[in-house]
Structure 1
């Protein structure tokens, strides 16, 4: 390989390095590219991701929140359907030792979906998805987020918008449902 070809190869590979590094650090999300992530994580032991997303400008009443679950680029469930209004709850979670978080929930087709995020001292970060059949306390599905892969928004306008949602009485009383 001559000197010019080596120089061209070096320039090309150097130019690609930042793009490769950026691709590997982009958090997993089921949100559309133009939408914002409120919460998202890839689920442990799975190829699936769960996300709470926002389309548009919810701070000024021109947007909507939605839930998306599935494999990247292939949602298996999106709630609410496009053009529909969904009804979400947001419940504050508190635990001992400077630990707390929140749970988003909604009901769809006879099932209640709960997405939660908990953080605290000693770099605790946990989250996951719980699915319950209406009226039952034992989950039909419970998945945790991959360790260290929880994405939470730090956008105050999005957080303020979710704080206006009602709290879920069952989660308020009993916490996150477990097996």
Structure 2
């Protein structure tokens, strides 16, 4: 093997190792193994994870979005139920200082669930889950994501699909509910 080929092989081998180790440290997700992660994060001060997922694809009979919460080995809530279509909203969030994000929301059994992600200057990345009882402004539960563990999709087809959802007028007017 000539010197150029050895150098190339050495470069490929040493560059592939860090990439493989990054994949092994990916944040957990509640999405099925063959499903796509739209948003996911392990929650701070908890062993639970919150995820927005997409199953299927547009080319093969449609895509189904769903929310999942709990431990990866034991989901506590999946919305909507299998075989049902969920009624999700996606609201664009803007803040001062070149900061923005989005919030996915849905209502189930008298509670509104809001999953959000915010990013901006100086490597800001934040996200979390807010749960409100119908008609109330103060959350009954508010959890933030573990620092540095937010996973957002960069797949254009998934982003485009969620951009077609209606915006939540309350979140659009007031932002993410807080205590």
Q: 1:109 to 1:119 in 2, by over 3 A?
A: same
Q: 1:23, CA displacement in angstroms?
A: 6.7
Tell me by how many angstroms 1:163 deviates.
0.2
What is the aligned partner in structure 2 of residue 167 from structure 1?
167
Q: Residue in 1 aligned with 2:117?
A: 117
Question: Closer, same or farther in 2 for the Cα pair 1:70/1:175, shift >3 Å?
Answer: same
Q: State TM-score, norm by structure 2.
A: 0.86
Q: Give 1:58 shift.
A: 3.9
- In the other structure, the counterpart of 2:27 is 27
Aligned length: 162
| CA drift at 1:59 | 6.7
User: TM-score of the superposition, structure 1-length normalised?
Assistant: 0.86
Question: Aligned residue for 1:73?
Answer: 73
In the alignment, the residues of structure 2 paired with residue 100 and residue 23 of structure 1 have an alpha-carbon distance, to the nearest angstrom, of 27
**What's the counterpart of residue 37 of structure 2?**
37
| 2:141 is the alignment partner of 1:177 | no
After TM superposition, the runs of 4+ consecutive aligned structure 1 residues lying more than 6 A away are none
Q: Deviations over 1:103-161 (max 9, x none)?
A: 00000000000000000000000000000000000000000000000000000000000
In the alignment, structure 1 residue 102 sits paired with structure 2 residue 102: yes
**1:27 Cα deviation (Å)?**
2.0
In structure 2, list runs of 5 or more residues that go unmatched: 1-16
Deviation at residue 172 of structure 1 after TM alignment: 0.4
2: CA distance between counterparts of 1:99 and 1:33? 32
Query: Secondary structure of the residue that 1:162 maps to in structure 2?
Result: helix
Contact conserved, 1:58 with 1:64, CA < 8 A, in 2? Answer: no
Asked if 2 retains the 8 angstrom alpha-carbon contact of 1:43 and 1:49, the reply is yes
RMSD: 1.7
Q: Which residue is 2:3 aligned to?
A: none
SS in 1 for 2:139: coil
Secondary structure of the structure 1 residue equivalent to 2:160: helix
